[in-house]
Amino acid sequence: MISNITTTFLKAEKAFNQEKYREATKLLNEVIDHDRDFYSAYLLLYEIYNNKKSQQKNMIYKELKRLNLDLEIDHKPITIKTKKNITNPKLVTLSLIKLMIAQGKKSQAKKNLRLIIKHSKIKKNIISAEEMLKSL
């Protein structure tokens, strides 16, 4: 529990000016926990998260809009694209890949060869796939 919100905010502002962002963030979060309508704390937090390009910036922007409907900040939401992790892909056979190459589907064949190299448990198939990929 903080005894004086304004003093804590001023400490956070001082830490921000000294580029001690971690300390400033901690103090600003204490201020916001104590008073959810402390507009200046949200503005400073938004600035910190904007510089860090953190996704937290989106949440702080919503709070700023809640407190001030006429807010004029050039806000660009940050989205983080998650990389799809293929755990057990369905691998095609090498004979099917040879057929793809014969039909002129080289990009599809390359993709499947890379999957075999990455995920196959049979050493012979991996070696064959690497050789086929080199020849394409």
Catalogue all structural domains in the chain, each as residue range(s) with its CATH number. Answer: 5-67 (1.25.40.10), 94-135 (no CATH)
Per-residue confidence band for 45, with pLDDT thresholds at 50, 70 and 90: very high
Which tens digits make up the pLDDT trace of 76-107? 887 777 766 666 778 888 899 899 999 999 99
Angle at CA of residue 4, ends 52 and 10, nearest 5°: 40
Average pLDDT of the residues in 44-60: 90
- Per-residue confidence (pLDDT) for residue 15, from 0 to 100: 94
SS3 at position 10: helix
% of the chain with per-residue pLDDT over 90: 49
- Per-residue confidence (pLDDT) for residue 2, from 0 to 100: 60
Min mean pLDDT across 37-51, 75-89, 112-126 is at: 75-89
Average pLDDT of the residues in 55-81: 85
Nearby residues of 115 by Cβ (< 8 Å), 6 or more positions away: 86, 89, 91
> Between these two residues, 85 and 29, which has the higher pLDDT value?
29
Please say if the pLDDT value at position 73 is more than 80: yes
Average pLDDT, the chain: 88
- Per-residue confidence (pLDDT) for residue 24, from 0 to 100: 93
Structure tokens at 126: 């991996």
Find the helix packing angle between 21-34 and 39-52, rounded to 10°: 150
Per-residue confidence band for 23, with pLDDT thresholds at 50, 70 and 90: very high
Q: What is the CA radius of gyration of the chain?
A: 27
